[in-house]
Amino acid sequence: MKNVIGILAGSLRRESYSKKLANALLSMAPDELEFRIISLADIPIYNQDFDDHPGVPKAVTAFRKEMEQVDGIIFITPEYNRSVPAVLKNALDVGSRPYGKSVWNAKPAAVFSNSPSNLSAFGANHHLRQSLVFLNVPTMQQPEVYLPKVNELFDESGNLKEGSTKDFLQKAVNAYVEWFNKKIFKRWKN
Ligand SMILES: Cc1cc2nc3c(=O)[nH]c(=O)nc-3n(C[C@H](O)[C@H](O)[C@H](O)COP(=O)(O)O)c2cc1C
């Protein structure tokens, strides 16, 4: 069975550029891996009562189960107010509990950030990395992926246009696959 790389886009917007990037990555997977988009659309806002009392919402259990099937992760994040959009931070929080059963532990990741602006969501990219350190998600350092002017990258059907950004993304995916295949990462915590 192929290892699965979950692609998580930090936006729920219908015409989201992050979601379009997630779709574009599907065709960049090598034969030996399955790239799979994981939707964050149904996850409720985390409430610690989910774990302290009976009655975990079905969508929470479903997301945690889906993430358990995933061996590595590519995060595609836009930026909200110089940080990670709440939907993505919420997914991290939901997946990190119950305590000792985090779905993130030791899964190799990459962070691809994007924005219509020139700053490329640098703030979100690095805020996300801060949480990933604590969650023991070994995150690829190079190449860093900051995509500016993301609104100019797609054609009318929402497909990624041919060109230097597409070429760079394929190189970044290839580097991530190498990172994933190192398989040196340990589960420090349970
Ligand atoms: C609440 C809010 C805050 C935003 N803050 C930033 C920001 O800090 N930096 C930035 O580059 N873009 C910011 N934007 C613009 C987003 O980059 C833009 O809406 C982008 O298309 C969102 O990503 P998506 O296309 O994947 O939905 C913000 C948008 C919203 C709605």
Mean pLDDT for 38-54 is 96
Residue 183 has what pLDDT? 72
Over residues 59-73, the pLDDT tens digits come to 999 999 999 999 999
Looking at the domain assignment, is residue 155 inside a domain? yes
pLDDT at 188 over 60: no
Q: Is 141 in the pocket of ligand 1 (CB under 6 A)?
A: no
Residue 185 has what pLDDT? 67
Residue nearest (by alpha carbon) to ligand 1 atom 3? 80
The share of the chain scoring above pLDDT 90, in percent, equals: 94
- Domain boundaries, position 108: 14-181
pLDDT, mean over the chain: 95
* Domains contained in the chain, number: 1
Q: What is the CATH number of the domain that holds 68?
A: 3.40.50.360
The CA distance from 118 to 116, in Å, is 7
Looking at the domain assignment, is residue 8 inside a domain? no
The CA distance from 91 to 43, in Å, is 7
The DSSP symbol for 150 reads: G
Residue 189 has what pLDDT? 42
Looking at the domain assignment, is residue 3 inside a domain? no
Looking at the domain assignment, is residue 190 inside a domain? no
CA of 108 to the centre of ligand 1 (A): 26
Looking at the domain assignment, is residue 45 inside a domain? yes
Looking at the domain assignment, is residue 188 inside a domain? no
Looking at the domain assignment, is residue 5 inside a domain? no
Looking at the domain assignment, is residue 186 inside a domain? no
Residue 190 has what pLDDT? 39
